Amino acid sequence: MLDPKQAKDTIAAIATPPGNGGVGIIRISGADCRGIAARIFRPANASFTDFIPYRLHYGHLTDANGRELDDVLAAFMPGPNSYTGEDVVEINCHGGRAILAAALEEILALGARMAERGEFTYRAFMNGRMDLSQAEAVAEMIHAPTKAAMHLAQVKLSGVLGQKIAALRTRLENLRAQLVMAVDFPEDEVECLAPDELIRTSAEVRAEIEGMLDAVDRTRAWREGALVVLAGRVNAGKSSLMNALLGRDRAIVTDQPGTTRDYLEEPVNLNGLAVRLADTAGIRATDDRIEAAGLEMGRELMDRADLVLLLADGTESPADDTLSTADRLDADRTLAVVNKNDLDGFDPAHAEPLADRGFEVVEISARTGAGIDGLCERIRERVLRGAGQPDPDEIAPNARQAEVLRRATEELRLLELDTGAGVPYDLLGVRLESATGELAAITGEIAPEDVLNTIFDDFCIGK
């Protein structure tokens, strides 16, 4: 948990992912960062006297005994024009775990404190380098599953959402000022705000907020990816289909029924759309408690799925348990995948009971790969139905922001109803104050400490 009392500490952390790599970066932020860096950095250039801001200096990192640890590049970025708004030093080492750990150990021994999760970005927020929506966009950029998600995060990182919210808040604040005038000077007809104007302005602001909320659902698959669940009877070919969609063997394929007892989940990128494939346990009656628990888990996954691939063996008519599963599925979220069209016994007519239930039917052979490309395209199109390609400039709030915006729109809706009902202006002002306060929570001007901790605890250490 971030402690405001430690805001003046000099902090340090490894800013690159765990593991070995060509380059690793250690970030130090705070008033003592320059002095700490000077004590462990031995310049290769004899003319070096001090760190020149925003320039890479080549030299050697040393320990407390003066022994060289690594060849490094060091950069000093003075506040307030740094990531955190404080003095910052970044040291570029070779990316081995032992090297980075040894370098960080020396830095901490010289007085720096290990940074908490998200503390560098938290300081950037507290020092006015970014608003809260931009800080959240940093995490969204890091975790973006696709290029499209990256672009959506970049829009918010640029500050567009914060600017939009600020403009809407200004309009509501102007309304509040007029309400105050109407309450304090009731006899001054010139300054009195007409109810129709109050309703109109509130409705306009609410419509703009609702437009942003529409983008939440429209872009969700791009931002978060989609869950696609493979369901069907044992030995219908679910595991073979999963391997075919992944392009590699991930699920065990045997003639023995019930090989998959719970579920397997793997990511796949379908032409820019991130998909999580879940291969569930084969549907069948069982007295095995473990297998029964796996079947229940599969049903829960189907309920949460963006799309269910209901697999059927095309060499036989659908069994009763396949049809009973089909009856509980929504045709809008289901593709009937008829497998084994490479076998002599395959008959398209076997899919008619599924088609009669409104399911779109796709024929494939998971064994040979026939129809797999077409299935991938249909998965992508069905998941993105109504979404289309995201607008490069679209503002897509995240889950926290969307919840705050929904509360703001509800306050404005009630404000309009109260105004039409003749509620006194001083009480209407409470509605407006609540709505503006909700908007301020988007950018962090009003943000409880527990909300900030929840947001920044989701960051990695070093960012």
CATH number reported for the structural domain that contains residue 151 in this entry: 1.20.120.430
The mean pLDDT of the chain is 87
Q: How confident is the model at residue 199 (pLDDT cuts 50, 70, 90)?
A: very high
- Split into its structural domains, the chain has a count of 3
Same domain, 205 and 152: yes
93-150 confidence digits (pLDDT tens): 999 999 999 999 999 999 999 999 999 999 999 999 999 999 999 999 998 888 888 9
Same domain, 270 and 319: yes
Same domain, 159 and 247: no
Same domain, 415 and 272: no
What is residue 87's predicted lDDT score, i.e. its pLDDT?
97
Same domain, 82 and 15: yes
Q: Which domain-ending residue is among 383, 414, 429?
A: 383
CATH number reported for the structural domain that contains residue 68 in this entry: 3.30.1360.120
Q: How confident is the model at residue 232 (pLDDT cuts 50, 70, 90)?
A: confident
| In-domain check, residue 403 | yes
178 burial (CB, 10 Å; 0-12 / 13-18 / 19+) is buried
As given in the structure block, the two tokens for residue 47 are 């003319």
| In-domain check, residue 204 | yes
Q: Which tops the pLDDT comparison, 86 or 291?
A: 86
The residue segments making up the domain with residue 346 are: 227-383
Asked if 252 contacts 226 with a C-beta cutoff of 8 angstroms, the reply is: no
pTM: 0.81
Q: How confident is the model at residue 282 (pLDDT cuts 50, 70, 90)?
A: low
**Percent of the chain residues past pLDDT 90, beyond the cut:** 56
Same domain, 299 and 237: yes
What is residue 284's predicted lDDT score, i.e. its pLDDT?
56
Cα–Cα distance for residue pair 186/164, rounded to 1 Å: 33
Same domain, 23 and 73: yes
| In-domain check, residue 47 | yes
CATH number reported for the structural domain that contains residue 328 in this entry: 3.40.50.300
* Beta strands 334-339 and 307-313, pairing class: parallel
41-65 confidence digits (pLDDT tens): 999 998 898 999 999 999 999 999 9
Same domain, 312 and 355: yes
Same domain, 269 and 313: yes
23: left (phi over 0), alpha (psi -120 to 50) or beta: beta
Same domain, 72 and 93: yes
| Closest among 283, 263, 287, 278 to 309, alpha carbons compared | 278
| In-domain check, residue 452 | no
| In-domain check, residue 393 | no
Asked if 400 contacts 136 with a C-beta cutoff of 8 angstroms, the reply is: yes
Q: Which domain-ending residue is among 383, 407, 423?
A: 383
Same domain, 286 and 305: yes
Same domain, 192 and 114: no
